[in-house]
Amino acid sequence: MDCGPRRYRIVDFDRLPGVSCPCGTARRALADVAEFPGTIHRTEISTDAQLHYHRRLSETYYVLQCTPEAKMQLDDELVPIRPGTCIYIPPGVRHRAVGRMTVLIVVLPKFDPQDEVIVHQ
């Protein structure tokens, strides 16, 4: 029995193409779903990320896994993190991941690479 078009979306991050970003390699989901107000990224950070901020986007990082010495730089503060840590980053906050980690990032509104500003140190 056909119930018509699906009203839900299932994402397998392992099947999404990886995209290079200042943080490492991002796999971005739900950009094509008009009803969803943002995007969700699984980002693998293998080296210290570039310091950057967003002009209008908010990001919420949820740490899936990381090395014991991993940290997030938020403006001028280095904050230790561990799996299970959740960090809300509003527009304008300079940030970068320090160390190896895999994070799930919820971006609102939808991710726009033109909104990202690299801070040259």
Residue-wise pLDDT for 64-101, tens only, equals 999 999 999 999 999 999 999 999 999 999 999 999 99
Give the pLDDT confidence score for residue 1 in this predicted structure: 52
Measured CA to CA, the distance from residue 78 to residue 94 in angstroms comes to 11
Q: Is residue 21 scored above 80 in pLDDT? A: yes
Domain map (residue ranges) of the chain: 18-118
Residue 48 has pLDDT above 90, yes or no: no
Q: What is the CATH number of domain 18-118?
A: 2.60.120.10
Distance in angstroms (rounded) separating the CA atoms of residues 57 and 68: 29
**C-alpha R_g of the chain:** 15
Say which amino acid occupies 105. I
Mean pLDDT value of segment 27-46 = 95
- Mean pLDDT over residues 25-54, rounded? 94
Task: Specify the residue for token string 């160390």.
Answer: 99
pTM > 0.75: yes
For 67-79, the three-class secondary structure string (H helix, E strand, C coil) is CCCCEEEECCEEE
